[in-house]
Amino acid sequence: MTSLPVIAIDGPAASGKGTLARRLAAGYGFAHLDTGSLYRAVGLSVLRAGGDPADEGQALSAAQALSPGDSVLTDPALRGDNVAHAASLVAAMVEVRAALLKFQRDFATRPPGGRGAVLDGRDIGTGICPNAEAKLFVTASVEVRAERRVKELQAAGLHAIVEIVLEDMKARDERDSRRAVAPLRPAVDAFVLDTSALDADQAFSAALTFIRSRIGPA
Ligand code: CDP
């Protein structure tokens, strides 16, 4: 059996990787998995149960209970910054990551629609899909990313203060990059795309040029 093409997109918070992943998936007719939503779902499940996301036992139970059709995966509360914080705590736990590995690999090897998959996250090119045909590492300065996140939160009707979002983002970058398990870093064969000075269309066009060179036109 020949394997289906996989596009791996990694990068820090609010770098624009989610938007890129959705547009590439739509263009190629591939299925898309936002793997951050899995870690967010684990964090949210623990918070909803009145628990502590820093507790490994509680986080692991929530990760083991997560299944592909779970309604928590599409819950609007997933996008909150308190949930992002909880997600980055549970994401530093080896056993939680191991519990979510199968979900992600199954999606990559047998994607809905059967044409190919786009996965975005922090360790797709380095750990989940090391043999992906195309790997992108999408980044931007922390100041630009904080501004983007403030706009996203405001568009969702939430109150956001740029200084606080910036500090939260720096703390999360630090935790994601320094953790012992699956730290955020580009794969050696990833195309690094800095979107600091690019709008969404420019970032998409640069990404598409690279993806075409790897897997051909959409
Ligand atoms: O949307 P944003 O980039 O802010 O965050 P996200 O992609 O939803 O990820 C939330 C958190 O989950 C991150 O800060 C990481 O700690 C963790 N995560 C991870 O460790 N590995 C992944 N593949 C995806 C997310």
pLDDT tens-digit series, residues 35-86: 999 999 999 999 999 999 999 999 999 999 999 899 999 999 998 889 999 9
What would the pLDDT profile of 164-200 be if each residue is shown by its tens digit?
999 999 999 999 999 999 999 999 999 999 999 999 9
- Ligand 1 atom with minimal separation from the 120 CA: 23
Distance of CA 43 to the CA centre of its chain: 14
Instruction: Write down how long the chain is.
Output: 218
Taking CA atoms only, the protein residue closest to ligand 1 atom 3 is: 13
The domain limits of the chain are 6-213
* Ligand 1 atom nearest 123 alpha carbon: 23
Whole-number Å distance, alpha carbon 88 to ligand 1 midpoint, is 6
Half-sphere exposure of 66 (CA within 13 A, CB side): 29
pLDDT surpasses 70 at 1: no
- In sequence order, what are the beta bridge partners of 136? 9, 191
The hierarchical CATH code for the domain 6-213 is 3.40.50.300
pTM, entire model: 0.94
Q: Would the CB of 107 count as within 6 Å of ligand 1?
A: no
Mean pLDDT over all residues of the chain?
Answer: 95
Answer yes or no: is pLDDT of 5 > 60.
yes
Determine if ligand 1 sits within 6 Å of the CB of residue 39. yes
Q: pLDDT digit string (tens) for 152-165?
A: 889 988 888 999 99
Question: What is the band of 111 on the pLDDT scale with cuts at 50, 70, 90?
Answer: very high
Q: For residues 73 and 78, what is the distance between their CA atoms, to the nearest angstrom?
A: 8
The answer to whether 13 touches 84, Cβ cutoff 8 Å, is: yes
How far, in whole angstroms, is CA 65 from its chain's centroid?
20
Structure tokens at 190: 């990833």
Q: What is the mean pLDDT of residues 136-143?
A: 97
